[in-house]
Structure formats: structure tokens, C-alpha cells
Structure 1
Amino acid sequence: MPEFLNLLSFGNGGWGYELFKGALLTLTLALVTFPFGIGFGFLLALAQRSRSKVTRNASLAFTWVFKGLPELLTLFLVFYGVQIGMRSLFAAIAPGIIIEIPAFLAGVVALGVVNASYASEVWLGAFTTVPHGQYAAAAALGLPRHLTMRLVVFPQLLRVALPGIGNLWLVLLKDTSLVSVISLAELMRMTQAAAGTTKQYFLFYITAFMIYLLISAVSGEVFAYLERRSARGLEREA
């Protein structure tokens, strides 16, 4: 068996199982973070459309901060900063309690708030495409605000927002590699371990490249299908 196949195998001396576990953790992290980021982003968009000036300004400040910070710095602030703050708080009110933030949770929160900041812009752009008459028609039918949003507005928002949401998923997928710096054994960290141990840097980094490319290609097809499905029944322009 060629040496590179042996190194990528799942048997003794191979790193296939480690790379598979790393890729699985990368996908898990992205799949857990994505709904949180998109959902929180939707709430931020609603807040920016609120009649309350305080609510609007709070949402704008949140998105401004986390769009301006590097994702890596946000990750460090959540994993180290929040952990230190919580330990100081509990040391004052409940001495002896040790607080540890799991790396996975820190990754979800840090990447999620950054994703939410950008998602809010996608949702806000989608809101501008819904005619005001849709709200007026729903009110004329006696629909309460929550049903108007769920049954009338949101399906239209989702159709328009899907391309942007798909792009945010791909960005998030790549950003998951950042959590390797807080010792979470995702794909990039396992690739680095394999490359460092075997000194076969090109082999393992090109393998990681192919894995990311495969996931991105499949993701692109999934979102393309969702876009086609959401556009069913719409008259296509010639």
C-alpha cells in the first residue's frame, strides 16, 4: 500500500479515524451554531424595526460591536473573559465553586453571536421586500401580529433571505477552524496534529482542503434545492 494511503487509513498507523472525528465535530459545531446565529439574527432584525428607540439602539450597538471584532478575539473573550468573570463572581458569592466553560459551548456562543450580527443584515434586507400591503391585508383579516409574521410575512422573508443565509452557512463552516486555538479537536486541529506528527504537511492539509470542499459543495447543493423549492409557484421572469 502506498505510504499516503496508509497514513490516511483507518487502521494502525493511519489518521483516517482522527480526521473523520474532526470533520464530524466541525459539522456538529456548525449545525448547532447555525440555528442559534440565524434565529438570534432574526430577533436582532426585529429589534431594529422596533418602535422603541432603546431597543433599536441596543440591537444596532450589538451588531456594530460583533461585526467589528475579529472572530478570534470574540472567541477568546467568551472562552477566557467570560470564564474569568464568572469565576470572580462565584468566588465572591459562593467560594469553592469552580466554573469551567466547555470549549464547544464557547465556540457555539462566540461564532453564534458573530453569525447573528451578519444574519440580522440579511433579514433586514429581506424585510424591505415585503410590501406594506401584506401587513394591511393580514390586519383586515383579523390576524394577530404573531400569526401575521408566521403565516404571511416570514415565508416571504425566508425566500428572499435564503441566498444570504446560505452564504452565512459557508462562512460559519470555515470559521469553525478557529476553535482549534481553544483545544477543540475539530478538523483543523486534528489535521495539524497529523501533519506535525508525520511531517507530511502537504498530504494532510490537502486532505483537509478536500474535506472542506466536499462539505461546501454538498451544502451548496442543499441550499440551491431549498431556494428552488421556496420559489415554487412564483412566475419566473423571462
Structure 2
Amino acid sequence: MQYYLDLLSFGPEGWGDELLAGALVTISIALATLPFGLALGLAIALAKRSRSWTLRTFATLYTTIFRGVPELLTLYIIYFGVQVLLQGVWSALGLPGNLEMSPFLAGMVALGVVLAAFSAEVWLGALNAIQKGQREAAAALGLTKWQAFRLVVFPQLMRVALPGLGNNWMVLLKETSLVSVITLQDTMFIATRANVVTKEPFLFFGAAALIYLFFSVISTWGFDRLEDRANRGHARAGASR
């Protein structure tokens, strides 16, 4: 038992500090991806509701592609393929040096475009749940389209979309483990390296599982609080009727 505790301890003899650093990378890339993916997803959802056939077609193709292609393949395409493409453009412009994409940025972009495809459907469902009369009332009050969206539509949109976005976040947390294949030293990367050195797969992959589980439990609690807060006024209005 002491042997396993020593392996998980902090310091030069244990892997505790490396696992902690990997956990910080995991939550960092998830938090960096979330606003990018949700904002892009909202833009895709609005494009799906656009009067422009071009925008609707683009948005439909986007969600079809990135919901259908495996996340790992998307990660490889962006990290290796897009990097080669950017380097080609860089060289064609006659600029000196090499243009390299960091694993963190590549992981964030890859996970973000996939998150956008799934969150777009959540946003779209929430947009469809908001009655058209809300926008008409805002226009009657003299609000511009942007003001109506920011002050009237978006607060209601968040209330309706939060459960689905919470599920998207939970999936994103687990998908961060994929970035280990492009050498980003996240939780999964450290657990794999520790297993290779110590030949203790159950110990280190079990520790990685507990780290992901810890983040999931905290996230579930956080989203429950957000949903309670978002539904507070709505619940009172429903009770008064």
C-alpha cells in the first residue's frame, strides 16, 4: 500500500505533482474551448434561422460535417493538416521562419468547432422555443434588433438552453483527453506516461478517472446552481398563475 502512496505522492519520487499539472491543463483547455465553441455555435444557430439560403446551407453543412466526423480525426486534421496549409501560405508570402501551431491551440480549435456543431442544435432549439411575440414587443418598444436580442431574447435563451449546454460541457470535459495524442501534457498524457514508466495501469488510469469524475461532479453542481438561478423568476411567475 505504501508503494502506491509513494507513486502518487508529490515530489521527485512520485507522480502527484505531474498529475496535478495535467489536471490543470485539462480544465484550462476545457475552459478556453467553452466560450469559443458556444459563441460559434450560437452564430451557426442564427445562420440556420437566416433568410439567406447561403447562410442556411453553410450552417447545415457545418453541423452535418462536424457532428459526423470523429473528434479525433478533426483534431488530426487541424493539428497536422491545417498547420501544413498555414505553413504553405506563410512560405508563399515569402515570410521568414516556420509557422507552428501549438498543441494547446490546435486542441482548443478542434474541440471548439466540434462543440459548436453540437451546441448549435441546442441554441436552435432554444431560439425556436422563444415566441415571436417577444421580438415584436421589443420592436414595438423601439428597441433595435441587437438591443432586442441582448435584452429580451438572450436572457430567455440562456434559461432554455442551459440544460443542453451543460450536457455539451460534460462531453467536452471528457473529449479533452483526446489532446494527449498531439503531445499536450494533460491528465491522460501524464497517466499514460506514468503507466509506461511504472507499469501500474490501474493505479494511474484510475487516478485519471477520479480527476475527470471530480471535474464532472463540480460541473454538475455548478450547472444545477446556474439553472436554479436562471429559472428563479420564471418559477415564481408560474407559481403565481
Q: SS where residue 13 of structure 2 aligns?
A: coil
What's 2:204 paired with?
204
Q: Which residues of 2 match residues 27-42 of structure 1 at below 5 A?
A: 27-42=27-42
Q: Deviations 1:28-71 (Å, cap 9, x if unpaired)?
A: 00000011001110011111111111111111111111111100
Pick which of 59-68 and 138-147 moved more: 59-68
Q: Which residues of 2 match residues 125-140 of structure 1 at below 5 A?
A: 125-140=125-140
The alpha carbon displacement at 1:95 in A equals 5.7
Q: Which residues of 2 match residues 145-224 of structure 1 at below 5 A?
A: 145-224=145-224
Pick which of 184-193 and 3-12 moved more: 3-12
Using structure 1 for the length normalisation, give the TM-score: 0.97
Name the count of aligned residue pairs.
238
What's 1:225 paired with?
225
Cα distance in 2 between the residues matched to 1:143 and 1:22:
48
Cα distance in 1 between the residues matched to 2:7 and 2:64:
45
Cα 1:226–1:95 shift into 2, 3 Å: closer
Q: Quick one: which amino acid aligns to residue 29 of structure 1?
A: I
Q: Which runs of 4+ in 1 moved over 4 A?
A: none
Q: Quick one: which amino acid aligns to residue 25 of structure 2?
A: L
Q: Which residues of 2 match residues 82-121 of structure 1 at below 5 A?
A: 82-94=82-94, 96-121=96-121
Cα distance in 2 between the residues matched to 1:12 and 1:96:
41
The alpha carbon displacement at 1:96 in A equals 4.2
The alpha carbon displacement at 1:91 in A equals 2.3
Q: SS where residue 234 of structure 1 aligns?
A: helix
Q: Quick one: which amino acid aligns to residue 114 of structure 1?
A: V
Q: Quick one: which amino acid aligns to residue 5 of structure 2?
A: L
What's 2:65 paired with?
65
Q: Which residues of 2 match residues 1-20 of structure 1 at below 5 A?
A: 2-20=2-20
Q: Deviations 1:163-216 (Å, cap 9, x if unpaired)?
A: 001000010000000000100000000000111101111111111111111110
Q: SS where residue 98 of structure 1 aligns?
A: coil
Q: Quick one: which amino acid aligns to residue 12 of structure 1?
A: P
Q: SS where residue 164 of structure 2 aligns?
A: helix
Q: Quick one: which amino acid aligns to residue 152 of structure 1?
A: V
Cα 1:16–1:50 shift into 2, 3 Å: same
What's 1:75 paired with?
75
Cα distance in 2 between the residues matched to 1:215 and 1:12:
26
Cα 1:139–1:95 shift into 2, 3 Å: closer
Q: Quick one: which amino acid aligns to residue 193 of structure 2?
A: A
Gapped regions of structure 1 (runs ≥ 5): none
Using structure 2 for the length normalisation, give the TM-score: 0.96
Q: Quick one: which amino acid aligns to residue 163 of structure 1?
A: P
Computed over aligned residues only, the root mean square deviation of the Cα atoms, in angstroms, reads: 1.4
The alpha carbon displacement at 1:97 in A equals 2.8
Percent identity among equivalent residues? 50
The alpha carbon displacement at 1:231 in A equals 0.3
Pick which of 84-93 and 71-80 moved more: 84-93
